[in-house]
Amino acid sequence: MVTRNLSAAEKRSAVRIGAARARLIRNLLHNVFGVDQLRDGQRGVIDSVLEGNDTLAIMPTGSGKSLCYQIPASIFKGTTIVVSPLISLMKDQLEKLEEIGIGAAQLNSSLSRGEELEALDSIRNNLSNIVFCTPERLATPEFLEVLKDTEISLLVIDEAHCISQWGHDFRPAYLEIGAARRALDNPPVLALTATATPDVIDDIGRQLGARMHVVNTGIYRPNLHYRVIQITNPAEKISEALRLVRETAGVGIIYAATIKAAEEMHAALEQAGESVALYHGKLPARERKENQDLFMNGERRVMVATNAFGMGIDKTDTRFVIHLQVPANLEAYYQESGRAGRDGEPAECTLLYFQDDKRLQQFFLVKHYPTAEELRAVYDSVAPLVPCQAGVIAQALPDMADSKLKVCLKLLKDGKLLRQNRKLDYLLTNRDARAEIFDQLSAVYQHKQERDREALEQMVGYAQSGYCRWKLMLDYFADDQPGFEHCDCCDNCISPPSVQMDDGEEALFEPPPEPSVPPAPVIAVGSQVKVPKFDIGTVLSVAGDQVTIEFPENTTKTFMAEFVQLA
């Protein structure tokens, strides 16, 4: 890279521009947004955006990410597009912007066709400074055609970690954003997230096709007090959670890894006379909304939920978050536990750790990854349909989850077997794909699978560690806080765990070894095996702790080895 020193005239010009920008921002803050001053980190993000940089802002929840695009949108002449998965948050933002006189529109599945057409007309006529949309809507040809005739000053990606396949909350719908950005001639981008590891940071830029200027304000929130309680059996977990709810003042959230665990915890709290609501993905949409409103409005003290209750939830006076099981990784744990204490007041974040819970997360991980057979099925379904949209392909594969289909389509594009035109139709680029190509593409996810296993081990390490909880999280996110050694507010800092040594000295707690179990019978390729709730099948492959089995009618599934028995 070639660099040069600025001339004296260039330096004076830069100072004048900076001073003029600062005055403009102050004027907008006071007279439009009713804010006295920017918070830490906001100014750096806003300056980066106004300078035309593709920017990734990593800022804790509650640090004012919205202003980071609202200020530039008020300065730019063109339209700012904000992509978000949170329809309820869009509505709130839209109402607030309209109250202060900033034109805004939204496009998502909650609109009637008439409302949708009205929003599109507003965009065509340049009446909307800011346009909110879901990632699914951004990828539709109708919306893209309207945007192509509009001056796009900035493309904002909210919850940007969802675009990364290395992230904890990867959402396949986000994979279309990069293609949509290219179709719009690559407008400047602002990606916003509360957390991102170095790998996720790199992947966000790669998926968006951008060299990101990163502004990272850090994850540390000293008002959050972390602790882990070691549990010896499932019954103790319920009783311990009941005790914590009883002894902790204020409202709180209890997260469960499964619907069954959430329902059991909810029933136990109800029986104990607690004011409690329930939220999970299998409840009818109306019941979910009613329960969420009861909690958000203060009519229920405790919300018991799966991770379906999460993104966009901003109840600032939440005083405690309890996890009944370990999440899959520290990113998910930080995001979920971080829903406590957003008002800046002290809050408790407690993990109830039972070592058998690790197996549950291992089981979930297996279901995430596309096999070579699934890639082949998608490719074969696309072949007679091209050119076609993803929705048409989904109709041809009714048994495949939409999320897995999107991942398969992305892999087939990466492997140069498919491509998309400017209308985002899928087209074949290779009509004679060999079987080994699908094996190679599915192998890409073996690396991700290994990374996910490592992330789970780090989550378990956090639960078993005797070190400062905050220090462990800061190290995981590569968040360098100069001079930080311990938080003085987590369980390990307040009361360091120790064991007595023979010589009378104390040592940091080391977790006991896992109980020994008899070795499992060897499962080899060609073995006849059985899995609970499935027929007897034949082993096709064994890779580490995963076994791929072919069942009658040529269906193929992959399981953790511990769930597979010789027939």
Per-residue pLDDT of 14-45, as tens digits, reads 445 567 778 888 888 888 888 888 877 899 99
CA distance 122 to 7: 45
544: left (phi over 0), alpha (psi -120 to 50) or beta: left
CA distance 106 to 113: 13
The answer to whether 545 and 560 have CB atoms below 8 angstroms apart is yes
Kindly report the length of the chain.
Answer: 567
Residue 142 has pLDDT above 70, yes or no: yes
Pick from 76-80, 285-289, 443-447: least confident = 443-447
The residue written with tokens 């407690």 in the block is 350
pLDDT band at 558 (very low <50, low <70, confident <90, very high): low
Single out the residue of 405, 402, 431 nearest to residue 416, CA to CA.
431
pLDDT for position 555: 66
pLDDT for position 553: 66
Residue 57: φ, ψ to 5°: -105, 120
Looking at per-residue pLDDT, the higher value among 319 and 542 belongs to: 319
Single out the residue of 317, 322, 321 nearest to residue 344, CA to CA.
317
DSSP 368-409: TS--HHHHHHHHHHHTTT-SB-HHHHHHH-TTS-HHHHHHHH
The answer to whether 24 and 38 have CB atoms below 8 angstroms apart is no
Alpha-carbon distances of 203 from 7, 160, 199, rounded to whole Å: 37, 10, 6
For 202-249, write each residue's pLDDT tens digit: 989 988 888 899 998 888 999 999 999 999 998 999 999 999 999 999
For 355-370, write each residue's pLDDT tens digit: 888 888 888 877 667 8
Quick one: average pLDDT of 454-470?
Answer: 92
The residue written with tokens 């080899």 in the block is 524
The answer to whether 184 and 466 have CB atoms below 8 angstroms apart is no
pLDDT for position 168: 59
- Can you list the domains of the chain with their CATH numbers? 16-216 (3.40.50.300), 224-356+459-508 (3.40.50.300), 368-450 (1.10.10.10), 528-566 (no CATH)
For the chain, how far is it from start to end, CA to CA, in angstroms?
Answer: 63
Q: What pTM value is reported for the model? A: 0.72
DSSP 424-491: --EEES-SS--HHHHHHHHHHHHHHHHHHHHHHHHHHHHHH--S-HHHHHHHHTT---TT----SSSH
Quick one: average pLDDT of 176-182?
Answer: 89
Pick from 2-6, 276-280, 558-562: least confident = 2-6
Residue 386 has pLDDT above 80, yes or no: no
The answer to whether 189 and 82 have CB atoms below 8 angstroms apart is no
